[in-house]
Chains A and B, each alone.
Chain A
Amino acid sequence: MWKFFHQLASPPHFYRLAATLAPWLLAPGVALIAYGVYAGLFLAPMDYQQGDAFRIIYVHVPSAYLSVMAYMIMAISGGIGLIWRMKLAHAVAAAAAPLGAAFTFLALVTGSIWGRPMWGTWWEWGDPRLTSELILLFLYFGYMALRGAIDDTAKADKASAVLALVGVVNVVIVHFSVEWWSSLHQGQTLLKKGGPAMDPGMLYPLLAMIFGFTLLFGSFLLRRVRTEVLYRERRTRWVREMILSPEGS
């Protein structure tokens, strides 16, 4: 058991493991998304209140969930890197940040597009989740800016890990304070989550999309970590031997 973890932490081993694992995540991910898109757009019944506009949740909900998920991955692996001085964990954190920011952006854009027909406005400051999500995007920007500003990789890793961990505490506080704030304003009557019970015809495509997006994210993350590992280890012998070996990559 421990041997497995020790091997996992070794960059060359992880590099090879990620290469074999990535396609196995990608294929079912793409299949699930293909089913989710078809079923969500063509098979799922229309919402009795929202009409066809509700169908954007098939992109919006998985993106919003992954935007938080990616931040947690980033902060936890940053913490692991700080505490156990595991270099690979820092590589994971570095690779997760742009993906998380992309999903946050996607969640904001799809939310905004959905808001236009539903609330009659592209942006609604009164909605706590929109505001929290925007602040999350800014946290990602700060994290990536700090990484970019420090030339020394080891230093950038540790500094950004501290920032990510401070950010985790803050994400929770942001959530509650924004909720308190928006409760001061007029309550959102339209914003009840799509009714108490969801039609199975709507729910299954959504679940497929959530799992599909997660697998896709996992696959992208592994690919990004591979690139990150390769770049960080560019001066080591195993990378040179691998590049020079007849099989290549």
Chain B
Amino acid sequence: MNDSHDQQPDIFSGLWATAKRDLLLAWKRPGDVLNPLFFFAMVCTLFPLAVGPSAEQLEFSGPGVLWVAALLATLLSLNSLFLGDFEDGSLDQMLVSPQPLPVLALGKTLAHWLTSGLPLVFVSPILAITYRMPWSVVPIMMVTLMLGTISLSLLGSIGAALTVGLHRGTALLSLLILPLAMPVLLLGANTVSLAAGNDIYTTGIWALGAYAIASLSLAPYATAAALRISNE
């Protein structure tokens, strides 16, 4: 990434630099990464306690519970996506930098997904097994969660950018993001349920993939626009 025509670094250097910086920050403060994971595990624990431990019931509700818990855990970590940068002024630097803002926003979202979505994907099998999910379904659930959390991080970045300057952000952010996230939840959880019922589940995977690609190509622009509006 050292080509220096007109001292204008190519767009990927901005993307990697932003993502690397956020990953480094997350590495220095592992609590920020671990807390949503604990939250995820705890929400998954709440349901058997509330609805009873009967095996059929757990098997039946497992995909839905895991998906709802993953959605809530992602929401929990979204609030701080732009907050630190907003408070210490790095966000202003991003806004005035010659790099295109959507790319920088994408870099931050990528780091967010790597530190929140991806760990969830790898923790989920442990919880899925406690819900008696068959082994053959576990990889399918991981694929849906992987595709779904990409979309959730990208959608969430729009909401985080819209609410970044506001001090009563958390509840508002959930209010903005949850209706947008409902299709992802619906596709994800039901795809896993279909797979568990030995039904055709590939439609759901394709739809989730399509959703992820669509949000990957559109959401960074909305996030960039929202960041500019929030920092006027």
Q: Is the CB of A173 within 8 A of B232?
A: no
Cross-chain contact B176 with A146 (CB below 8 angstroms): yes
Q: Is residue A69 within 8 Å, beta carbon to beta carbon, of the partner chain? A: no
Q: Is the CB of B229 within 8 A of A177?
A: no
How many interface residues does chain A have, given as a range? 20 to 34
Contact A135 B162 (CB under 8 A): no
Residues of B within 8 A of A173 (CB): 183, 211
Asked whether B158 lies within 8 Å of A166 as measured between CB atoms, the reply is: yes
Q: A155-B232, A159-B230, A166-B180 are in contact. Are A177 and B187 (CB under 8 A)?
A: yes
User: Does A139 reach chain B (CB closer than 8 Å)?
Assistant: yes
The A-contacting residues of B in range 167-188, CB under 8 angstroms, are 168, 172, 175-176, 178-180, 182-183, 186-187
Q: In angstroms, how far is the closest chain A Cβ from the Cβ of B170?
A: 11
- Give chain B's interface secondary structure class: helix
At the interface, yes or no: B194 with Cβ under 8 Å from chain A? yes
Contact partners of A149 in chain B: CB under 8 A:
163, 166, 168, 172
Contact B179 A138 (CB under 8 A): yes
Bound Cα distance A224, B222 (Å): 29
Size of chain B's interface in residues, with CB distance under 8 A?
Answer: 27
Q: What residues of chain A lie closer than 8 Å to B166, measured between beta carbons?
A: 149-150
User: Is A170's CB under 8 angstroms from B225's CB?
Assistant: no
Which residues of chain B come closer than 8 Å to A181, judged between CB atoms? 186-187, 190
Closest Cβ of chain B to A55, distance in Å, is 32
Chain A nearest CB: distance from B230 CB in Å?
7
Closest B residue to A151 using CB positions: B166
Determine if B186 and A163 form an interchain contact, defined as CB atoms under 8 angstroms apart: no
Q: With A and B bound together, what is the CA distance between A174 and B203 in angstroms? A: 16
> Which one of A154, A173, A178 has the greatest number of beta carbons of chain B within 10 Å?
A173
A sample of 20 inter-chain contacts (CB < 8 A) reads A135-B179, A135-B182, A138-B179, A139-B179, A139-B180, A142-B176, A142-B179, A146-B162, A146-B172, A149-B168, A155-B229, A155-B232, A159-B162, A162-B158, A165-B222, A167-B179, A167-B180, A169-B218, A174-B182, A178-B183
Interface residues of B (CB under 8 A from A): 158, 162-163, 166, 168, 172, 175-176, 178-180, 182-183, 186-187, 190, 194, 203, 207, 211, 218, 222, 225-226, 229-230, 232
A159-B162, A159-B226, A166-B222 provided; 9 other pairs, C-beta below 8 A? A142-B175, A142-B179, A155-B229, A159-B230, A167-B180, A177-B187, A178-B186, A180-B187, A181-B190
